[in-house]
Chains A and B, each alone.
Chain A
Amino acid sequence: MSKKILRNEAFQSLFASLICIVLGVLIGYIVLLFINPSGAGEAIMEVLKNFLHYSKANLQLKNFGNTLVKTAPLLMCALSVLFAYKVGLFNIGAAGQYCVGICASIYCAIGLGLGWLPCMIIAAICGALYGAIVGLLKSYCNVNEVISGIMLNWIALYTTNMILSTVKESTSPYTFHLNTHGVDAMLPGLGMDKIFAGNTYVTIALPLAVLTAVLIYVLLEKTKFGFELKATGFNKNAAKYCGMAEKRNIIVTLMISGGIAALGASFMYLTDYEQWMCTSSAVPGMGFNGIAAAFLGGLNPIGTIFSSYFIQHITNGGAYVDKTMYCSQISDLISSLIIYLCGFVFFIKFAMNKYLDKQEEKEALKAKGAESEKGGDK
């Protein structure tokens, strides 16, 4: 019976994800030991504790809120990657589409003074159009989506720097605060700030992101459209053979994927939690972390909700590592180590099945041995 559970797909995904997390933490700990053995245990605990670092309940809640604020965009990026992956596409361009989303939402908010809903919609549309470029190149020119995605990431970054320079503070490289220059565009909190001890950055973004995850799950598993998209992903020749518009499907997929990533950006930047730095020389890591979150979540939209939270949890937790013992980059190093290990979910699953196969074989041999003994008695 227990074997049946071990063979269960969902259980395996969960189990493999947990093993990855444990391994990641362990290796992070070992690295810390090498750098400075005296503070390693404490440092790794800080990473895992994150907001529990504080002893006061309201500070804990407030910082829990901060983690959640950044979980929403990460979840959206993870969903973006996951959705494309189900259709057989590796959307590494999610990072660029996210960047386009930042550009559109901030510019609409501050430059055009639009409300939050139009800002969100325009961001999503811009991301979708940006994703469409990758899709068009893929279906009509047979350009690999990874190559065009990476190149478009850079174009997105510098275009964003250029456009957002028009709405930045004159004394700093950062864009204006929304609470002074674009109040209309701030996402409504619906009183959620009260739950999180007055953390006004907590908005409808997180519920919307979770809703998106559910919608994507339904779309992929329950609808005709999902049936077509997955068929195209598994075997585009068969999709073409039975009359699915496989070129259109690729483009539509990347549009949806791009739209989700860009919407995620608006979930972050319309809260005023962060401002864009117009001298940025790298696309935000959010899109790339989305890849890890998607895999850690077992490529299941619902699993991704939890994996995104976890990754954001340790990323935020990294900030509490004692900076007098370790250099300031250590927090990023530790969290990225754990994120890196998260990519090993499929490897763990593979190893697990291999082990189970071996066990079964052994049992079969044992049973055989018992039988032949019985035969000997006769």
Chain B
Amino acid sequence: MENQYAIEMLHITKKFPGIIANDDVTIQLKKGEIHALLGENGAGKSTLMSVLFGLYQAEEGIIKKDGKEVKINNPNDANDLGIGMVHQHFKLVECFTVLDNIIMGVEPNKFGFLQKKEAREKVLALSEKYGLHVDPDAYIEDITVGMQQRTEILKMLYRENEVLIFDEPTAVLTPQEIEELMQIMKNLAAEGKSILFISHKLNEIKAVADRCSVLRKGKYIGTVDTKDATIEELSAMMVGHDVSLHVQKDESKPGEVILDIENMTVASKMHNNNAVKNVSLKVRRGEVVCIAGIDGNGQTEFVHGLTGLEPLVSGKVTLCGQDITKMPIRKKLTSGMSHIPEDRHKHGLVLDYSLEDNCVLQRYYEPEFTDKFGFLRRDNIRKYSEKLIEQYDVRSGQGPITIARSMSGGNQQKAIVAREIDKNPELLIAVQPTRGLDVGAIEYIHKQIVAQRDAGKGVLIVSLELEEVMDVSDRILVMFEGEIVGELDPKTTTEEELGLYMAGAKRDEVKA
């Protein structure tokens, strides 16, 4: 019988200090199929893929390519076997062009001189063939995350890889980009590429994958045909119990205005235009206001302007009746503002600090953690971090002393959410609070956000995920090209209508 599997990973076990990341896991990828790998954060999906990609060596188990056992010691071996990977955090050189990034490592040359022309033709042909539109001469730092991802995909195709691994590819994309990516993946599979698709977004798996293998806490749970399984069944397999996919919440009871933004304008770093133009909005106590929009429409700059990371060109910000426009960041944060940042690696964490140190990053100077001579009170820091870790179920290899860098993305995010909510703010600003999280964690964080609202706090969320926007918010503001173009009620609007506003096809005069 002809071997039908492109890749087989049989009985893989991989241990880390204090944790068994993969415990006897088996997955088999058929040729030309899209195979989803589903699991919560820390379930061991990324570890398993790193084993396949040669970044880690498994203690037990074998890997077969086209039925033959192979040994993959490093990414070069993986590449030689035709295995390519799009990492969750892209591996691109920011100051190089798209083309340079694609050919990097396999530069075509004659006598040591670069032959970019043929490379360009090959790249253009590939992007034509698979519908991957991207300008080969654009610099990585200037293009959107979606285009960066296409660059990564082109990189694999350029190397003529047969097995493509996508590690949570949709976590960073807008709804439109996700749809395009799904199409691209289908095209690739139709051309005979075998795809491993790591995700915890059930509807995406349902939409694109042929089969789905589920991992839970490092153990292999099972493989199902996605067309035969319901979303509820998949999610039960993933978390081990049934979860409600919708946020349970009561009617909001908006109180006094807590945040009042008047005519805020923020300059852009990318171009000469302003990124945020004359935005005014109010957030009241006891309501969740959600700013929806496609990535790159000024949301990042808006939040940076609001929290003080970027200076304002003009405008006024009032928090709890106090003008905070010109306050330094520390003062803003002690005046009742909490901020869950968009980029957890860039802003949210000091990755080389331990988990406990990251837990007190916003509060280390308080008398509880620093005595009057300026010495840190390590005992209290340990106790406090242990409390947060337990309360918010932050999982890590070694508890409080785990270095943040070694934690999974979801648990890093949980640590930040724990830190920011536990500060007991008056206003919680959360940017993409559930980005890259699994269903269980999303449910938990959404509950926490609603609890903050019910405790009479104001909540301002910036999100790219339509589902989240519709689920959590009491009021939706749509941002398009730096302006608020619509105010919608999540109870009466539809995702389609929201999409029209987000794409700029529809706009109202909004007086918030």
Binding site for B on A (CB under 8 A): 222-225, 227-228, 230-231, 234-235, 237-245, 361, 364, 367-368
Binary per-residue interface labels of chain B (40-80) against chain A in the complex, 1 for a CB within 8 Å, 0 otherwise: 00000000000000000101100000000000000000000
From residue A361, how far is it (CB to closest CB) to chain B in Å?
6
Given A227-B364, A241-B329, A243-B330, A235:B375 Cβ within 8 A: no
CA distance A245 to B328 in the complex (A): 9
Given A222-B375, A231-B361, A364:B347 Cβ within 8 A: no
Q: Does A234 contact B353, Cβ atoms closer than 8 Å?
A: yes
Q: Contacting B59 at CB < 8 Å: which of A227, A235, A364?
A: A364
CA distance A231 to B347 in the complex (A): 11
CA distance A83 to B400 in the complex (A): 26
Contacts of B370 in A (CB 8 A): 224
Q: Does B350 contact A244, Cβ atoms closer than 8 Å?
A: no
Contacts of A240 in B (CB 8 A): 309, 329, 347
Given A224-B365, A224-B376, A364-B59, A234:B329 Cβ within 8 A: no
Given A224-B375, A227-B376, A361-B57, A242:B351 Cβ within 8 A: no
CA distance A171 to B117 in the complex (A): 70
Q: Contacting A224 at CB < 8 Å: which of B341, B347, B349, B364?
A: B364
Q: Does A241 contact B376, Cβ atoms closer than 8 Å?
A: no
Given A223-B375, A227-B357, A243:B350 Cβ within 8 A: no
From residue A356, how far is it (CB to closest CB) to chain B in Å?
13
Q: Does B59 contact A243, Cβ atoms closer than 8 Å?
A: no
Given A224-B365, A243-B328, A238:B376 Cβ within 8 A: no
Given A244-B330, A245-B328, A368-B60, A234:B375 Cβ within 8 A: no
Which residues of chain B (337-382) have a CB below 8 Å from chain A?
339, 341, 346-353, 357, 361-362, 364-365, 369-370, 374-376
Q: Contacting B362 at CB < 8 Å: which of A235, A237, A242?
A: A242
Contacts of B352 in A (CB 8 A): 234-235
Q: Does A242 contact B333, Cβ atoms closer than 8 Å?
A: yes
Residue of A nearest to B377 (CB): A224
Task: Tell me the dominant secondary structure on chain A's binding face.
Answer: helix
- List 13 extra interface pairs beyond A227-B376, A241-B339, CB under 8 A: A222-B376, A224-B374, A228-B364, A238-B350, A241-B309, A241-B347, A242-B329, A242-B361, A243-B332, A243-B362, A361-B59, A367-B59, A368-B60
CA distance A257 to B155 in the complex (A): 45
Q: Does B374 contact A241, Cβ atoms closer than 8 Å?
A: no
Given A242-B361, A243-B328, A361-B57, A237:B376 Cβ within 8 A: no
Which residues of chain B (274-312) have a CB below 8 Å from chain A?
307, 309
Residue of B nearest to A235 (CB): B350
Q: Contacting A223 at CB < 8 Å: which of B307, B346, B350, B374?
A: B374
Of listed B328, B339, B351, B365, residue having the most chain A CB within 10 A = B365
Contacts of A225 in B (CB 8 A): 374
Contacts of A237 in B (CB 8 A): 346-347
CA distance A223 to B402 in the complex (A): 20
Contacts of B346 in A (CB 8 A): 235, 237-238
> Can you name 12 A-B residue pairings with CB atoms under 8 Å?
A223-B374, A224-B364, A224-B375, A224-B376, A227-B364, A234-B351, A235-B349, A237-B347, A238-B349, A238-B350, A242-B362, A243-B331
From residue B207, how far is it (CB to closest CB) to chain A in Å?
36
From residue A248, how far is it (CB to closest CB) to chain B in Å?
10
Given A237-B346, A244-B330, A368:B59 Cβ within 8 A: yes
CA distance A262 to B41 in the complex (A): 51
Q: Contacting A231 at CB < 8 Å: which of B331, B339, B353?
A: B353
Residue of B nearest to A367 (CB): B59
Contacts of B374 in A (CB 8 A): 223-225
CA distance A240 to B361 in the complex (A): 11
Contacts of B339 in A (CB 8 A): 241
CA distance A223 to B370 in the complex (A): 8
From residue A206, how far is it (CB to closest CB) to chain B in Å?
27
CA distance A356 to B364 in the complex (A): 36
Contacts of B334 in A (CB 8 A): 243
Residue of A nearest to B15 (CB): A364
From residue A232, how far is it (CB to closest CB) to chain B in Å?
9
CA distance A364 to B328 in the complex (A): 54
CA distance A225 to B371 in the complex (A): 12
Contacts of B59 in A (CB 8 A): 361, 364, 367-368
Q: Does B351 contact A235, Cβ atoms closer than 8 Å?
A: yes
Residue of B nearest to A232 (CB): B350
Contacts of B331 in A (CB 8 A): 243
From residue B425, how far is it (CB to closest CB) to chain A in Å?
13
Residue of B nearest to A244 (CB): B330
CA distance A234 to B329 in the complex (A): 19
- Closest 4 A/B residue pairs (Cβ): A243-B330, A241-B347, A243-B329, A364-B59
Q: Contacting B347 at CB < 8 Å: which of A223, A234, A238, A361?
A: A238
Residue of B nearest to A243 (CB): B330
Of listed A225, A237, A238, residue having the most chain B CB within 10 A = A238
CA distance A368 to B12 in the complex (A): 12
From residue B9, how far is it (CB to closest CB) to chain A in Å?
16
Q: Does B348 contact A241, Cβ atoms closer than 8 Å?
A: yes
CA distance A205 to B252 in the complex (A): 69
Q: Does A231 contact B350, Cβ atoms closer than 8 Å?
A: yes
CA distance A241 to B369 in the complex (A): 19
Contacts of B329 in A (CB 8 A): 240-243
CA distance A46 to B252 in the complex (A): 83
From residue B69, how far is it (CB to closest CB) to chain A in Å?
14
CA distance A227 to B371 in the complex (A): 13
From residue B276, how far is it (CB to closest CB) to chain A in Å?
19
From residue B28, how far is it (CB to closest CB) to chain A in Å?
21
CA distance A244 to B329 in the complex (A): 8
CA distance A245 to B365 in the complex (A): 13
Residue of A nearest to B371 (CB): A224
Residue of A nearest to B60 (CB): A368
CA distance A261 to B60 in the complex (A): 54
CA distance A224 to B57 in the complex (A): 40
Of listed A222, A225, A241, A361, residue having the most chain B CB within 10 A = A241
CA distance A364 to B374 in the complex (A): 47
Residue of A nearest to B419 (CB): A242
CA distance A361 to B349 in the complex (A): 32
Binary per-residue interface labels of chain B (476-507) against chain A in the complex, 1 for a CB within 8 Å, 0 otherwise: 00000000000000000000000000000000
CA distance A234 to B352 in the complex (A): 7
From residue B56, how far is it (CB to closest CB) to chain A in Å?
10
From residue B55, how far is it (CB to closest CB) to chain A in Å?
12
Contacts of A227 in B (CB 8 A): 357, 364, 376
Contacts of B376 in A (CB 8 A): 222-224, 227
Which residues of chain B (319-333) have a CB below 8 Å from chain A?
328-333
Of listed A225, A230, A237, A245, residue having the most chain B CB within 10 A = A237
Contacts of A245 in B (CB 8 A): 328, 330
CA distance A361 to B339 in the complex (A): 43
Contacts of A238 in B (CB 8 A): 346-350, 361
From residue B445, how far is it (CB to closest CB) to chain A in Å?
19
CA distance A148 to B376 in the complex (A): 34
Contacts of B362 in A (CB 8 A): 242-243
CA distance A368 to B347 in the complex (A): 43
CA distance A240 to B346 in the complex (A): 10
CA distance A368 to B374 in the complex (A): 52
CA distance A235 to B353 in the complex (A): 10
Contacts of A239 in B (CB 8 A): 350
Contacts of B328 in A (CB 8 A): 243, 245
Residue of A nearest to B362 (CB): A242
Of listed B333, B346, B350, residue having the most chain A CB within 10 A = B350
Contacts of B369 in A (CB 8 A): 224
Contacts of A234 in B (CB 8 A): 350-353
From residue B22, how far is it (CB to closest CB) to chain A in Å?
13
